[in-house]
């Protein structure tokens, strides 16, 4: 099993759409970034890449590349899903938190879960999304920005313990009584 943590933050500005969890949310401000600046998906991707030991989204989707300018983070999340598949990792669960004073995130969580679960091909029971404010404190509290955290648990076929059925190859694991 492998655990990963991701964190992302973006500044709120005028003239941008607010997209969180792959869902456009009605608001007077949007998040500033090279892509669509979806803090939730960015945190989730960083947690998944971190659990695999493969760096972060900046390594895989650098903001110096024009192809990622204004790209939907759902497209990037799908690329991370492909990386998971290529490396034989299975998502056990993802637990994420969005921190925003405004707008209220809770009414959008079910739709966010649909988008993320569809993109990662996981069931809703494998994804938990929470939202909180910071009671007017800090950059999220004064509505300067929005942040998100994500923690995930992955399993890998490659990390699975190999047990030989041939007793001459057995090393006496705790799963049986044979000592070869």
Residues in Cβ contact with 80 at an 8 Å cutoff, skipping those fewer than 6 apart = 45, 48, 49, 57, 60
CB 153 within 8 A of CB 3: yes
CB 7 within 8 A of CB 58: no
Tell whether residue 67 is among the known ligand binding residues: no
Give the helix/strand (H/E) hosting 11.
strand 2-13
Residue 125 CA, chain-centre distance (Å), reads 15
Tell whether residue 8 is among the known ligand binding residues: yes
Tell whether residue 61 is among the known ligand binding residues: no
Tell whether residue 14 is among the known ligand binding residues: no
| Owner of token pair 């600046």 | 37
Tell whether residue 21 is among the known ligand binding residues: no
Tell whether residue 139 is among the known ligand binding residues: yes
Beta bridge partners of 131: 98
Tell whether residue 108 is among the known ligand binding residues: no
Give the helix/strand (H/E) hosting 84.
helix 73-86
Tell whether residue 133 is among the known ligand binding residues: yes
Tell whether residue 134 is among the known ligand binding residues: yes
Tell whether residue 58 is among the known ligand binding residues: yes
Tell whether residue 56 is among the known ligand binding residues: yes
Tell whether residue 27 is among the known ligand binding residues: no
Tell whether residue 119 is among the known ligand binding residues: no
74-86: b (≥16 Cβ within 10 Å) or e: bebbeebbebbee
Bind-site residues = 8-10, 34-35, 42, 56-58, 132-135, 139
Bind-site residues for a divalent metal cation = 8, 10, 42
């Amino acid at each position: 099993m492998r655990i990963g943590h991701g964190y992302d933050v973006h500044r709120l500005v005028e003239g941008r759409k607010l997209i969180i969890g792959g869902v456009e949310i009605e608001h007077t401000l949007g998040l500033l970034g090279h892509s669509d600046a979806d803090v939730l998906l960015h945190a989730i991707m960083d947690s998944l890449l971190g659990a695999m030991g493969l760096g972060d989204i900046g390594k895989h989707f650098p903001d110096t590349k024009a192809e990622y300018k204004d790209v939907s983070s759902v497209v990037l999340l799908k690329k991370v899903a492909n990386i998971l598949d290529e490396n034989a990792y299975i998502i056990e669960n993802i637990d994420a938190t969005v921190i925003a004073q405004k707008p209220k995130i809770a009414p959008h969580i079910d739709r966010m879960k649909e988008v993320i679960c569809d993109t990662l091909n996981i069931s809703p029971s494998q994804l938990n999304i929470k939202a909180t404010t910071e009671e007017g404190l800090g950059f999220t509290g004064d509505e300067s920005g929005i942040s998100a955290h994500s923690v995930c648990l992955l399993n890998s076929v490659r990390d699975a313990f190999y047990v030989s059925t041939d007793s001459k190859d057995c090393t006496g694991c705790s799963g049986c009584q044979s000592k070869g």
